[in-house]
Amino acid sequence: MSPSASSDRPIVELNDVAKSFGAVKALDGVDFSVRPGECVGVVGHNGAGKSTLMQVLAGTLAHDRGEVRLNGDVVAASDHSVARAHDAGIRCVFQELSLCPNLTVAENTRLRHGSIRGFGWRRQAARLIATKLDEIFPDHGISAGAVVGDLSIGRRQMVEIAANFSATESEPRLVILDEPTSSLDQQVASQLLAYVKRFVEAGGSVILISHILGDIFGTCDRIAVMRDGLIVEERPADKFDRHSLVASMGHVTDEDTPAPQSQASESQRRGEPIVSARPPRQTDDQRLELHPGEIVGLAGLAGHGQTALLRLIHNAARHRSRYASVNGKIAFVAGDRQADGIFPLWTIGQNVTVRSLSALSRLGLLEKGREREMEDRWRETLKIRTPDMGDNILTLSGGNQQKALFARALASDAEIIAMDDPMRGVDVGTKREVYERIRQEAENGRAFLWYTTEFDELVNCNHVYVFRNGLIAADIERDQLSEQKVLHASFEGEAA
Amino acid sequence: MTTKRSAAGLAGLARSAPWLFSFVGALVIFAVTLAANNWSGAGQIITAALSFGAFYAIVGIGQMFVITTGPGNIDLSVPATIALAGAIAMTTMGGSDAMILPGLAAAIAAGFLIGSFNYLLIWLLRIPPIIATLSSSFIVQSLAIVYGRGLRIAPPPFLAEIATGRVLGVPILAIVTILLAVVMAVVLHRSVYGRSVTAIGQNINAADLAGVRVGTMRFATYALSACFAAFCGVMLAAFSGGASLNMGEEYLLASIAVVVIGGTSVAGGFSNVSGIWGAALFLYLLITMLNTLGVGAGLRQIFTGVIIVAVITLAGGRKKGRG
Amino acid sequence: MPRTILDPKILRSLVPALSFAVLLGAIFYVQPRTMSYFGLNLMLNLALPIAFATIAQMFILTVNDLDLSIGSFVSLVACITATWLNEAPLLGVVALLGCIAAYAALGALIHLRNLPSIVVTLGMSFVWSGCAILLLPSPGGSAPDWLSGLVKFRMPFIPFSILASLILGLIVHFALMRSATGAVLRGSGGNPQAVERAGWSLLKTKVTMYALAGFFGVMSGMILVGTTTSADANIALRYTLFSIAGVILGGGEFTGGRVSPIGAILGALTLALVGSLLSFLRISPEWQIGAQGIILIVVLALRSLVNRLEERQA
């Protein structure tokens, strides 16, 4: 079983593997393999089949057709299981976390590792996870006895990653990281990527799925591009560049689109703001201000108080608040679709119109015709890809679900749109369409509060507030904006 | 991508017409009862089923809105509210036709207060609704005992006529309740309130962020449920010739049973009104059938239970969540 | 971060113990004679079966289900104990084992068909009640001698009921909260998909939890009969609501597998003692139920206060 014995034999090998969900071909004949000591990047749109591919690799889904080999042995679809993949050394960090929030970090570790049992299992589990956390994320500050539900989402992700990299009865030989950095701030993310390189150098293998192309180029030896359930391109990483990679994903891109010069300039910042707010812990008189027609960005490392302030402002529109005054109606675009956005039992249309119920009703009764009209108008406007707005919302791919959430906010009567990092895990094409729409809406006088974790998105904003430790650390105007400035404001003071 | 459109058949039907099962069940049981009765007395059975089913339906509709607001939402104060409202109504009316409206208003107002108190507890103490309504039902029950001490006031004749009378052989109360059901079905499917309630039931956090007035809507729901229970209490007292302390007892389990047999998802966010009528008829006819077949009390209960479990097992396969 | 006694997390876990202590103190103050071996024994004897039923309910709540039938189940067990187990012990034992097996089967049914437990157990409550009526149409029967002997066993110094509650609490605590298997069982309430993905069978965990609930339900019914020496089909119906309230009073949550066995037992004892306190205060029995409700609300208000304290600190 030692890695050296099977030196160059693929840990996992797929030949012509297909998987369908009803009429949807999620995988349509994929050939793919991973050898020891390599890091493979997998990129593609939402709905390209990445997640399905990973689930087949991890044993959570059985393939319909084709051949799966683990360490050279063919595994029948009926035999393929998580346990089987686990025995072969395959571990998977899923996009949605798979920790139990009611258990401690150590107890969660035990859950993964059947071999930890008997007397002293707690200490054993705690040592296992703490060692790995120290190795990957120095200064993580996570106690093994902490209940996972009490940890921030970033820290949960760190625990999840560390648990998957730690060895039990079988060594981890291939670790699948599906958007691992999405809830980590940059410093922790770079710690992770550095560890991935060390792991691969030591003979381990990693599959990295990320929409941050910089991470892929900086870490991977080989890149596989997926589109429509197929691997359409697979080359060593240095045979790709940013442009060719994005191009092969199916969307034509102009390298580094020049920042759109918005008409809403600083001149509009005069006059009464429609939102004026400060984080509860802000001690100086720094405030966030938003004027009609403006796009204001909330930047900084993830989880530094941006979402909290957006929610505070959202609530302040209805109830009085000490910290914020809001002179207008507000709509919220959720970033975490499952937790904050989607109504899973409803149609796409109902998901769109829910923010506008009173506007679509007379005497408390909804008017069907007007509701249908709104649904269809916004399907056209945002190009939501569905034959019928009466289909269930879950029939849409992630990116299109996000469009429905945008439509919900944009279709409403709100003058203010608060966006909570809504582009998380959304494909490039959708992003571009939505950016364009946001700019148009701003020109028509709507105001946007846009929390984003990606610097590229800040160039769409007229004004950027950088958050650090729950406070507004910097206030940057559009023509002063640079990545350096944002980074500086995000990290300043923490270097010591 | 993972929706199973192909899974038609029973499961598909449960999605598109969840109310169908309860009516089919009611029909089957009706047929069996008739067969056992040598195909006679159909009219009588239907009339009785409509009368008694109406009481199940009234509390069931209120309970349905509560259950629709999501996992953990159940109103356990229904029996206590029925008892207190019945006592208040009978005392206020004092057997006089002229006092029917004030008495009804007093009973409904009491229901409104109980519902408000329920939601106050849920909101202020942030406790699970089951516990909130359970603890308030203790208090209401005490109030009913103290208030209704030795109470035996006959209902006003006109009210008794409404509760027991018939038009063209159809119980008046059943007509009233069917109209009520129609109104509440419109409220559920076509009103801002109904849409808000189903949103809350699916994802309360998302509902709040989507601009639904979560607090107001939940408050309205608990108040509504208690008002329906109060109305049921008044009619029950009128029907049975006066209020009694334990007249609400069977309605706790019955109100939940009709909601679920009627095809409403206990996980919240998915419900329908018509199924409640089907389930109410089903439950009553079930008891009638077992009586007709000469089944004793013990076996009758076992049958009732087994059928409830069987129904939910057959209808089964609901979405995940608190089950 | 150093933890002090004022740390809300600790304070919250202390709430069940505190409310129990306050209640006991009040009883001692109002009726000092209860502060004795016999007094305690008398009051807590009736609480012991409730504690067992509460533990049964807790197992169900841990896996995000709710058991609306535990009261009628305990009643049925009481009827079996007071009849078959006394007259034909072998038949009685088989019947009680059958009851536990039925609970396990319910767990399997609920899991396999993904059914709402509220409805299934609601239906089962009719079934248990029906069986109990068939078995014992009118109150009666008698407890097996060995059983009443055990429950009335006069331990030196510590009343049996206190010792039994203590042992019950510790055993369940170690089994569920401290053991490696317990972590898996609780985990299946916190994030079932994750537990399944880690290679555990959710069917097994569900069946285990339901079987445990059945087992403690059986214990509850037997002890109840040991105390009362006879049974009837409605003897424990109120246990359903008591057990739910007890778990919640003890710090358990409705979803997510957050429970506390020791808290649940304290919650059950607290609820049972409320009745004693009221009768000592000579409150008219008409108000007893109401006062029980008020005390329940007060305790819950206390807990929510602590929770808010925690939020403010966070």
If you search the block for the tokens 């004749």, which residue do you land on? Answer: B157
Q: Measured between alpha carbons, how far is A257 from A456 in angstroms, rounded to an integer?
A: 10
Is C303 in contact with C12 (CB distance < 8 Å)? yes
Q: What is the pLDDT of residue B319?
A: 43
A contact set with C (CB within 8 A)? 60, 81-83, 86, 94, 97-103, 107-108, 110-112, 114, 116-118, 121-122, 149
Pairing of strands A416-420, A463-468: unpaired
pLDDT tier at B184 (50, 70, 90 boundaries)? very high
Measured N-to-C along each axis, helices A368-382 and A428-443 cross at an angle, to the nearest 10 degrees, of: 120
Q: Measured between alpha carbons, how far is A276 from B45 in angstroms, rounded to an integer?
A: 68
More confident residue, B151 or B148: B148
DSSP structure class, residue C174? I
More confident residue, B5 or A403: A403
Region of A291 (left: φ > 0; alpha: ψ -120 to 50; beta: rest) is: beta
**Nearest residue on chain A to B212, alpha-carbon basis:** A355
Q: Which residues of C touch B296 (CB under 8 A)?
A: 134
Q: What is the mean pLDDT of residues B113-128?
A: 92
Residue B317 has pLDDT above 60, yes or no: no
User: A33: closest CA among A210, A156, A211, A174?
Assistant: A174
Q: What is the mean pLDDT of residues B98-105?
A: 94
Q: What is the pLDDT of residue A98?
A: 79
Q: What is the pLDDT of residue A136?
A: 93
Residues of chain A under the 70 pLDDT cut: 1-7, 22-24, 45-47, 95-97, 182, 211, 250-270, 301-303, 424-425, 483-484, 487-488, 490-496
Q: Measured between alpha carbons, how far is C143 from A440 in angstroms, rounded to an integer?
A: 81
pLDDT tens-digit profile of A78-97? Answer: 888 878 888 888 988 875 66
Q: What is the mean pLDDT of residues B224-230?
A: 97
Q: Which residues of B touch C289 (CB under 8 A)?
A: 138-139, 141-142, 145
DSSP-assigned letters across all residues of A274-293: SEEE--TT--SS--EEE-TT
CA contacts within 13 A on the Cβ side of A23:
3
DSSP structure class, residue A80? -
Residues 6+ apart with CB under 8 A from C2: none
Q: Tell me the fold of B20-34+41-315.
A: ABC transporter involved in vitamin B12 uptake, BtuC (1.10.3470)
Stated pTM of the model: 0.77
Q: Which residues of B touch C68 (CB under 8 A)?
A: 253
Q: Measured between alpha carbons, how far is B192 from A74 in angstroms, rounded to an integer?
A: 56
Q: What is the mean pLDDT of residues B38-61?
A: 90
pLDDT tier at C211 (50, 70, 90 boundaries)? very high
- What are residue C138's phi and psi, to 5 degrees? -130, 155
User: Domain locations in chain B?
Assistant: 20-34+41-315
If you search the block for the tokens 């003692």, which residue do you land on? Answer: C273
Is C273 in contact with C27 (CB distance < 8 Å)? yes
Residue type, A49: G
Is C51 in contact with B309 (CB distance < 8 Å)? no
pLDDT tier at C2 (50, 70, 90 boundaries)? very low
Report CA A271 to chain centroid distance, whole Å. 37
Cβ–Cβ gap C118/B74 under 8 Å = yes
Residues 6+ apart with CB under 8 A from B71: B266, B267, B268, B321, B322, C254, C255
pLDDT tens-digit profile of C32-58? Answer: 888 888 888 878 888 899 999 999 999
User: Domain locations in chain C?
Assistant: 8-306
pLDDT tier at B171 (50, 70, 90 boundaries)? very high
Q: Which residues of B touch C115 (CB under 8 A)?
A: 312-313, 316, 318, 323
Is B88 in contact with B211 (CB distance < 8 Å)? no
More confident residue, A88 or C96: C96
Q: What is the mean pLDDT of residues B136-143?
A: 90
Q: Measured between alpha carbons, how far is A128 from A116 in angstroms, rounded to an integer?
A: 10
Cβ–Cβ gap C191/A98 under 8 Å = yes
Q: Measured between alpha carbons, how far is A10 from C203 in angstroms, rounded to an integer?
A: 35
Radius of gyration of chain C (CA): 20
Cβ–Cβ gap C186/A100 under 8 Å = yes
Q: What is the pLDDT of residue A496?
A: 25
Is C183 in contact with A110 (CB distance < 8 Å)? yes
3-state secondary structure of A246: helix
DSSP-assigned letters across all residues of C93-114: HHHHHHHHHHHHHHHHHHHHTT
Q: What is the pLDDT of residue C9?
A: 67
Residues 6+ apart with CB under 8 A from C13: C251, C260, C263
- What are residue A65's phi and psi, to 5 degrees? -145, 160
Of A97, A112, A122, the CB nearest to C198: A112
Of C66, C115, C125, the CB nearest to B305: C125
Of C178, C199, C258, the CB nearest to A102: C258
Of B71, B139, B257, the CB nearest to C293: B139
Q: What is the pLDDT of residue A44?
A: 75
Residues 6+ apart with CB under 8 A from A144: A104, A105, A106, A109, A125, A126, A127, A129, A130
Q: Measured between alpha carbons, how far is A57 from C197 in angstroms, rounded to an integer?
A: 13
DSSP-assigned letters across all residues of B191-240: BHHHHHHHHHHH-HHHHHHTT--HHHHHHHHHHHHHHHHHHHHHHHHHHT
- Is residue B123 classed exposed, middle or buried when 0-12, 13-18 and 19+ CB atoms within 10 A define those classes? middle
Positive or negative: CA dihedral A73, A74, A76, A82:
positive
Q: What is the pLDDT of residue B316?
A: 59
Cα distance from B261 to chain C (closest Cα, Å)?
9
**Nearest residue on chain A to C174, alpha-carbon basis:** A119
More confident residue, C98 or C7: C98
Q: Measured between alpha carbons, how far is B124 from B131 in angstroms, rounded to an integer?
A: 13
Is B281 in contact with B53 (CB distance < 8 Å)? yes
Of A82, A97, A103, the CB nearest to C187: A103
Q: What is the pLDDT of residue C55?
A: 96
- Percentage of the residues of chain B whose pLDDT score is greater than 90: 49
Q: Measured between alpha carbons, how far is A207 from A56 in angstroms, rounded to an integer?
A: 13
Radius of gyration of chain B (CA): 20
Q: What is the pLDDT of residue C281?
A: 84
Cα distance from B177 to chain C (closest Cα, Å)?
25
| CB of B313 less than 8 A from some CB of A | no
pLDDT tier at C160 (50, 70, 90 boundaries)? confident
User: A349: closest CA among B195, B233, C118?
Assistant: B195
ipTM value: 0.84
Q: What is the pLDDT of residue A3?
A: 43
Q: Which of A182-191, B52-61, C252-261, C283-292 has the lowest mean pLDDT?
A: C283-292
Architecture of the CATH domain C8-306: Orthogonal Bundle (1.10)
Q: Measured between alpha carbons, how far is A112 from C200 in angstroms, rounded to an integer?
A: 9
3-state secondary structure of A212: coil
